[in-house]
Amino acid sequence: MVTSVSGMQQLARRWARAGSKVGFVPTMGYLHAGHLSLVRRARKAVGVRGKVIVSIYVNPTQFGPREDFSRYPRDLRRDANLCRAAGVDVIFAPRDEEMYPKPGALAFSTYVAEGALSQGMEGRSRPTHFRGVTTVVAKLFNIVQPTIAVFGAKDYQQAAVVQRMVRDLNFPLQIMVAPTHRETDGLAMSSRNKYLEGDLRRQALVLWHAIQEAQRVVKESTETPNAARLKSSLKRLIEAEPAARLDYIEFFDPETLKPARQATRGTHMALAVFVGRTRLIDNARL
């Protein structure tokens, strides 16, 4: 396990001199089977002679002031055991003071902001979120210097924003986006699922049920569904669960992320729902 930026960069330079491919999976830890599927993708991409790196860092700059940064689940020892069993070569687990120097003459003051794809959905609900994401991912890319980085499609907008950043700022790496990993009942895997106690776990399935209902409507309708009307019916379905409160539903073009007025086949759907105090997201193609 490497905890210093300089130590990780030294390893990265050594691998570059040796011509090794580097596959990178950035995470905030509390790993689950979805994360491990990204590790397998990275290993397949770089081969047995390549290196697979997992970063474990709960990034404070992507959390808003009233969000769950302080209580976000953390268990580094557990994560290290899972990484070891999955064949990860190195875990990079930096401290906050390594990533964001404290106030003073050399205090951290540079941020990366994407200005188009990050504006709606998560960007509207969490105004500082994507600035934190793009900043920490840019830093991690510069530290780890990967050949390939693997992200999960559950965070569809995040993956699109990172891909745009890599293109616009000419990062010399490839981004791979792997399919959403789900529990057997359809709930998208997330570290925050740990918060779902008692009946909240069952109620959280309403996100998947809403996606399935939207897919059914689009498939079976004789006329193209109006997006606004479909949103209203899905809101009623979601909030029929006593602990569920809708944050947003959006139908959008999967390339531009621009909202769609009609929900057609090929349109993408994303939603965010509070189940109790836990905010969950999901998405799918219609």
Cα–Cα separations (whole angstroms), residue 226 to 70, 214, 215, 222, 261: 41, 11, 13, 12, 6
Alpha-carbon distance of 231 to 226, in angstroms, equals: 9
Q: What is the DSSP pairing of strand 244-252 with strand 174-178?
A: unpaired
Q: Is 242 left (phi over 0), alpha (psi -120 to 50) or beta?
A: alpha
Residue in 32, 35, 209, 268 annotated catalytic: 35
* DSSP 3-state of 139: helix
Q: Is 35 in the active site?
A: yes
Alpha-carbon distance of 49 to 28, in angstroms, equals: 26
User: HSE (CB half, 13 Å, CA atoms) of 268?
Assistant: 19
Give every CB contact of residue 246 below 8 A, 6+ residues apart in sequence: 235, 238, 239, 271, 272, 273, 274
Task: Tell me which residues are annotated as active site.
Answer: 35
